[in-house]
């Protein structure tokens, strides 16, 4: 675990060790999960369709190839821990992880208080369309 850089001290982060079809990031304050983010794959890469979970080496190679995209399925901060920078720090870590792993696109859908979320995602570099879909192209 590493420290999550937010306004609340002693929040620890667990992050995946590499790419997989499902990724989970957890933020902990002591033993309690206070926030998490969940991603799943989608790829524009022709090699992805030839890989399977049973073919680990080929699967890992296809995930490392350019063109891998992830869907941000969920990012959630428990009610009592909101407005302390945890969600922003967690999303920053997700983006950093994706950059480190050469993921090309992070996309999803804004759900909740749409005006606040639209601004939040825009401030993080995401494009937000009229249907509240979000997308971040990662260089």
Q: Is 89's pLDDT higher than 80?
A: yes
Residues 6 or more apart whose CB falls under 8 angstroms from that of 105 comprise: 69, 70, 135, 136, 137, 138
pLDDT band at residue 1 using 50, 70 and 90 as cut-offs: confident
Q: Is 10's pLDDT higher than 70?
A: yes
**Taking Cα atoms as reference points, which of 30, 122, 124 lies closest to residue 132?**
122
Q: Is 123's pLDDT higher than 80?
A: yes
- CA 139 from chain centre, in angstroms, equals 16
Q: Is 54's pLDDT higher than 80?
A: no
CATH numbers and ranges of domains, the chain = 2-137 (3.40.630.30)
Lowest mean pLDDT among 23-27, 61-65, 118-122: 61-65
d(CA 126, CA 135): 5
pLDDT band at residue 66 using 50, 70 and 90 as cut-offs: low
Farthest CA pair distance, the chain = 45
């Amino acid at each position: 675990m590493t420290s999550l850089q937010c306004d609340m001290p002693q929040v620890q982060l667990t992050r995946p060790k590499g790419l997989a079809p499902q990724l989970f990031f957890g933020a902990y304050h002591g033993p309690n999960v206070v926030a998490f983010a969940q991603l799943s794959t989608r790829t524009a890469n022709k090699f992805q369709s030839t890989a399977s979970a049973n073919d680990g080496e080929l699967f890992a190679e296809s995930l490392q190839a350019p063109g891998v995209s992830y869907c941000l399925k969920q990012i959630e901060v428990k009610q009592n821990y909101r407005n302390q920078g945890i969600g922003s720090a967690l999303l920053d870590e997700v983006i950093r992880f994706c950059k480190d792993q050469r993921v090309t696109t992070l996309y999803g859908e804004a759900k909740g208080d749409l005006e606040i979320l639209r601004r939040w995602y825009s401030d993080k570099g995401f494009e937000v369309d009229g249907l509240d879909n979000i997308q971040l192209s990662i260089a």
